[in-house]
Amino acid sequence: AAIEPMRLCQAKSATDITGFGLLGHLAEQVKASKVQAVLEKSAIPIYPHALETIEMGYKTRANARNHEYVASQTTIEGEIDPVLLDPQTSGGLLIALPQDNAADLLNQLQNAGYQEATQIGHTEQGEGITLR
């Protein structure tokens, strides 16, 4: 159901967030696109108990591997929450599109039933990922 709204809003790239976690997939996109991603951490939807579980010490082995991968692929400014590297964030879509089309895409996705659709950041000239 997300494909048509993405097409209409001129999505430039998209990926489902699976084994590399949010930051792993984003690192691939910014490296390939030669841009910098600026994420607003407070805008990233996180399952209510995900941070609590990680703080209790429950992390997958992939969490550390994903951190190594992200660090080798791009520079990251800002403190990294381990939940952003966790492979168990499967299911969400990371979509890049022209900024002028973001509000329209969000509206269309929410009307299609994706109530958690939200803008988590933007891209700009530069390299790497900045977490604010």
The tokens of 69 are what?
Answer: 């991968």
Residue 77 has pLDDT above 90, yes or no: no
* pLDDT tier at 125, thresholds 50, 70, 90: very high
Residues 18 and 107 sit within 8 Å (Cβ to Cβ): no
Task: Give the integer Cα–Cα distance in Å for 92 and 64.
Answer: 21
Q: How far apart are CA 37 and CA 55, in angstroms?
A: 26
Q: What percent of the chain has a predicted confidence (pLDDT) above 70?
A: 97
Mean pLDDT across 33-61: 86
Q: Is 49 exposed, middle or buried (0-12, 13-18, 19+ CB in 10 A)?
A: exposed
Summary mean pLDDT of the chain: 89
| pLDDT, mean of residues 4-23 | 92
Instruction: Confirm if 6 and 105 have CB atoms less than 8 A apart.
Output: yes
How confident is the model over 56-67, as a mean pLDDT? 86
What average pLDDT does the segment 53-69 reach?
86
